[in-house]
Chains A and B, each alone.
Chain A
C-alpha cells in the first residue's frame, strides 16, 4: 500500500474520523479556557487514548493541539484574555476589532487563516518527513545515542534564562527514567521493594502532575472564584470573502511561512511564531499604522503562524523522536504508550501510522473549520462558567484519567507528588520541558550508549567514528556552547544593569 492509500484509509475509517473530530472539539473548548494550554488539554486526554488504536490515539492528540490553537483565539478576541499563550498576539488587534463591533469577523479571519496555514504546514510535513526518514538506514546504536543526546542538549536551549536550572531539571528527568528495571541486565533500580515501581515511573503521570495538577494548584491559590464570567457577549463567526482573503494574502503568507520555519525549532513554538509573524507582517504591511487599532492583518498573521506550527512541529518529533515543545512531548508520550518509537525508523516500520496521521491532520484542519463555526456558543458558555466549577471538573477529569492506565491507586500518588513538584518549579522558575525531555529520552540515551559499548567491547571512539553520530554530537556541542555563551552574556548584562 502506498502512502496515499494509508491516508485515505484513515479518513474513511469511522474510529479515526471520530478521533479527529473528538480531539478537535475538545481542543477548541479546552483552548478557549484560559489557563488550559494545548499541552494540558492533551495531557488530560492522554490516559483515555490508552485503549484506542495507536493511529486513532495520535490523531486525537494532534486534533486537540490543532483545535486548541484556534480555541485560544476565542477569549483573546472576545474578552481580551488569550486562551493559550500563542493567542496573546491575537489579543492586540482581535479585541480591538471586537470593540468596534467586528468580533465575528475577527473570529472568522482567525478560523480561516488558521485552517489555510494548517493545511500548508501539513504539505511541508508530508514533503519533509520521507527524506529525513531515509536516513534511518544509517542509524545504528551510536547514532541513536547521539540523537538522544542531541535531544537532551536542547535542554540547554530551552532553559528560559537559567541554564543551570534547566540542566538540573534535565538531570532529574533522567533520574526518574532510571527507576524500575535496568533495560540491559534486568536488575531493579530504585524500586525500594515496591512492585508498582518495577515497570518504572510512567511519564504520563509525571506530565499530568507537572502540567495539569500544578496549574490547578496555581488557580486555587489565587482564589478569585465566584463569578468567572466576564462577558455575556454572544458573537457569530463571520467567514471572510475570497476577496478579503486575497487582500490579506501577504499577512497569510508571512504568518504561514514563519510558523512552518519556527515549528521544528525546539522551544520556539506557537507563541514565538505568533509574535514574530505579527512583527514581520507589520513591517511589510502597506498600512502599519493600523496595527494595534483593529488591523485584520494583525489577526491573520499570528493565527496563521500558530496553526502552521501544529504541523511543522511534528517534523522533529516524528522523524527524530525529539519533541521541541510541551505539546510535542505529550504527543511523544502518546506514541510511546502504544509501543511506537518515533524516530528515523518510524516511516519504514509504520508507514500506516505516519501516512494515516497525515490523513488525520487533514481531517483535523477541516474539522477545525466546521467546529469553529458551530461551537462558538458553547465555548463562550464555558468561558463564562465560574472558575470553581471548571477547577473541580478538570481535577476530576485528571483523577479519573489516571485510573485508566493501570487501574492502580499507586499512580495517583505519583501524579499528586508530581503536582507539588510542578507547583514548586513554577514558583522558583525551574523550566518544565527539560524534566519531560529527560524522562522521555532517558531510556534511549542509556540503552543505546550501553549497547554501543557492548558491540565494541567498551570502545568509546565508536561514537566519533560513526559519521552520523559524530555529526549529531557536534550539533549537540554547538547548541550547548551557544547556550553557555548566552548564559554568560545574560549574567554580565544583569551585572551591568545592577551597577548602572
Chain B
C-alpha cells in the first residue's frame, strides 16, 4: 500500500500543478473584488501540492523505518502491498465497464431493454450462473424498473428506437 500511496502522492502533485495552471488561466473580472475568481483555486492548488509532498515524505519515512526495524530485510511486506489482488481490482473496474456499456446502449435500446441487459450482466458478473432464473430476473427487473421510473415516477427516460419502429 505504501508504494501505491507514493504513486498517488506523485499523481496528486501533478494534479496540483495542472490545477494551479488552470486557475492562473481564469480571466479576471472587475466584479470580483479584492480576491478574484482565481484566488481560492490557486490557494487550493498550492495546498494540494504541499500536502502531496508531505504525504510522499511521510510514506517514505514509514517505509525506511519499517525497513530499518526489519534489519534491511525484504521490503515487500504486507504494508507495502496494495490490499487485494490486481484481479480483484480489475473485477471491480469491470462493474464500471458494465455501467459504461449501459450508457452507450441506453439512448438506442431504451430504458427497459437497457435495464434488463444491465441486470443480467451485473448479476452474472457478480457470480450468478446464467440460467432461466437469471433471464427471468432480467426481464422482470427491466419491466419493474420501467413501470416504477417511467410510468409511476414519470421520469422521461430514453425510449430508444422502439417508438419509431412501432409507428
Contact = CB atoms under 8 A, between A and B. Distances in A.
A429 B59 CA distance: 13
Interface string B68-107: 0100000000000011100011011111101110110011
Contacts of A167: 47, 51
B126 A400 contact: no
A391 B91 contact: no
Interface stretch (A63-71, A177-185, A246-254, A328-336): A177-185
Interface in A52-90: none
Interface string A178-211: 1000101111011000000000000000000000
B99 A395 contact: yes
A454 interface: yes
B122 A171 contact: no
Contact of B95 (A178, A217, A387, A445): A217
Nearest to B4: A428
Interface string A381-395: 000001111011101
Interface string A216-257: 111111111110000000000000000000000000000000
A40 B42 CA distance: 33
Contacts of A450: 32-35, 39
A178 B41 contact: yes
Contact of A386 (B33, B103, B128): B128
B130 to A, nearest CB: 11
Nearest to B59: A164
Interface residues on B, range: 35 or more
A172 B107 CA distance: 33
A225 B145 contact: no
Interface residues on A, range: 35 or more
A499 B68 CA distance: 9
A215 to B, nearest CB: 11
A220 B44 contact: no
Contact of B118 (A392, A416, A427): A392
A220 B94 contact: yes
A282 interface: no
Nearest to A214: B92
Interface in B52-73: 52, 54-55, 58, 62, 65-66, 69
A225 B102 contact: no
Interface stretch (A96-104, A295-303, A403-411, A472-480): A403-411
Given A167-B51, A427-B4, A184 B91 contact: no
A115 B38 CA distance: 50
A184 B54 contact: no
B14 interface: no
Given A403-B157, A412-B99, A419-B96, A388 B127 contact: yes
A224 B88 CA distance: 12
Contacts of B145: 396, 400
A449 interface: yes
A190 B29 contact: no
B161 interface: no
Interface in A463-500: 494-495, 498-499
B32 A187 contact: yes
Contacts of A220: 91-92, 94-95, 122, 125-126
Interface string B114-134: 010011111111111100000
A224 B127 contact: yes
A8 interface: no
Given A164-B54, A458-B34, A187 B155 contact: no
A442 B156 CA distance: 32
B65 A495 contact: yes
B12, B92, B121: most-surrounded residue (chain A CB, <10 A) = B92
A449 B35 contact: yes
Contact of A216 (B95, B103, B127, B141): B95
A492 to B, nearest CB: 11
Given A221-B88, A396-B141, A185 B37 contact: yes
A453 B137 CA distance: 59
A172 B124 CA distance: 35
B83 A168 contact: no
B1 A182 contact: no
Contact of A498 (B65, B103, B153): B65
Given A190-B22, A498-B69, 6 more contacts: A164-B58, A175-B48, A217-B96, A220-B125, A225-B128, A416-B96
Interface of B: 1, 4-5, 8, 12, 19, 22-23, 26-27, 29, 31-41, 44-45, 47-48, 51-52, 54-55, 58, 62, 65-66, 69, 82-84, 88-89, 91-96, 98-100, 102-103, 106-107, 115, 118-129, 137, 141, 145, 149, 153, 155-157
Give me the 7 closest cross-chain CB pairs, A-B, nearest first. A225-B127, A388-B126, A185-B29, A458-B34, A392-B122, A182-B37, A217-B92
17 contacts: A174-B44, A175-B44, A184-B32, A185-B37, A219-B126, A220-B94, A220-B95, A221-B84, A391-B122, A392-B121, A396-B115, A399-B99, A403-B157, A420-B93, A446-B40, A449-B35, A498-B69
